[in-house]
Amino acid sequence: MDNATNSSDYEKKLKTFEATADLQRETETLSEKSRYYKAYALSFFLPPIGLYYFVKFFFFDGGSDGGRKAAVISLVVTVISVLLNYWLFNILFTSTLNSVVPGGAGGTLKELITPANQKSLYDLYK
């Protein structure tokens, strides 16, 4: 009876240990994923930081496949964010210039602000 009790206790302890190990692995996986998601978000909203995460995950993450994959994704998200920001700012400033200078007369404005044409500009504002 004593032998059966020890065997039963051993099985319970083994199952408890396996469950604890599984829980620890799941916790580490979730922690790693949340770290990667944070890197993706920062790469999109603050593009230069994406380069930091690329170097960090690609070279200093211990060579894990998940780290290398996250590094490449961070780099791609950074490039997309830079291109999107450039495009949006270009549209914003183009529309602002067109609203300030009606009819797209940007060339006329540049011509008027040259030193030789300052008198014409002064007369225009009178």
Residues 117, 111 contacting (CB under 8 angstroms): yes
What angle, 0 to 180 degrees and rounded to 10, lies between the N-to-C axes of helices 2-45 and 47-60? Answer: 140
CA distances from 69 to 48, 53, 115 (A): 18, 11, 56
Q: pLDDT value at position 83?
A: 96
Q: What is the count of structural domains for the chain?
A: 1
Cα 116 to Cα 23, 66, 110, 111, 120: the distances in Å are 78, 63, 12, 9, 9
Report CA 105 to chain centroid distance, whole Å.
38
pLDDT on residue 49: 92
Residues (pLDDT < 70) of the chain are 1-5, 30, 96-113, 115-116, 121
Instruction: Report whether 40 contacts 77 (CB < 8 A).
Output: yes
- pLDDT by residue (tens digit) across 25-61? 777 776 778 889 999 999 999 999 999 999 999 998 8
Q: Domain range for residue 49?
A: 2-125
